[in-house]
Amino acid sequence: MNQLEQLKQYTTVVADTGDFQSIKAFTPQDATTNPSLILKAVQKADYQSLLEKAVRDHKSKSTEAIIDNLLVGFGQEILKIVPGRVSTETDARLSFDTQGTIAKSRELIRLYEAAGIKRERVLIKIASTWEGIKAAEVLEKEGIRCNLTLLFSLSQAIACAEAKVQLISPFVGRIYDWYKQKTGQEYTGADDPGVQSVKRIYAYYRKFGYKTEVMGASFRNTSQITELAGCDLLTISPDLLQKLSESEVPMPRKLSMEIAKADPIQKINLDEKTFRLMLNDDAMGTEKLAEGIRVFCADIVQLEQMIEKMR
């Protein structure tokens, strides 16, 4: 078996792209998108029609409403390809607005349901700020499943688990980027700080009985993926899916319930003050969360500007 086939024995494989045409050959279970991926996709000729349709069909509505419909349009097309779930992201400018995030999430689910898509097939992506996690806690009680993204630290992961969110997306590659930039070192295999972060979160969840799913994200190379074989899910870009499908190097399982239960990690009692202090003490987590929100905000603004020129 190639590495992709081996990985699918232990882990649910998720495609990380707005370019849904590129994922058919890899038969992933789920797919994820984000503002940057959608912005990149709509600049390709293959997806111009989706953007044009969203603008044409909702021209009398606000630019915000057109973007909501565009995101759901992409999600609908992706769900024709994957048998499982699609993740659709809320506006990053709501990252510190609990009520705004709740309202936006409800609207996205309303649009999906109006299009005949059951809410069980949608994960609403929300930044892992304290306000975002509190929004997800409310939404989960309404049956709106959430994917907490821009997650870089154990404090964020614990808060998500205690809020009973469906799934988290710790960002392996962006953690790696930070440490590489700070130290000038290359990290490979089990020494990769991004890999170590996900292993620590996975061990904590499994050891203490949390049901929240762990989906490693933001990979820079296949080594990071092979080190996390056995994680609940991994969301992988089409180019790395291609590389996995071309390799037949053995991929043994690295994460499991048995390994997690043997981990010496200790339970942490987390309230808001502890969360904020732990995150503040984590320079990497603090910087990458802020940077990620800024980038996603900038891409939403750029998408708005594109739409406004078309109206």
Q: Are 169 and 149 in contact (CB under 8 A)?
A: yes
Closest CA to 1 of 234, 227, 228, 249: 249
Residue with tokens 């038969």: 27
Catalytic annotation, pick one of 104, 125, 199, 207: 125
Q: Are 300 and 93 in contact (CB under 8 A)?
A: yes
Q: Are 160 and 167 in contact (CB under 8 A)?
A: no
Q: Are 188 and 206 in contact (CB under 8 A)?
A: no
Q: What is the 3-state secondary structure (H, E, C) of 63-80?
A: HHHHHHHHHHHHHHHHHC
Active site residue 125: yes
Amino acid at 60: S
Question: What is the C-alpha separation between 213 and 147, in angstroms, rounded?
Answer: 9
Q: Which residues have a catalytic role annotated?
A: 125
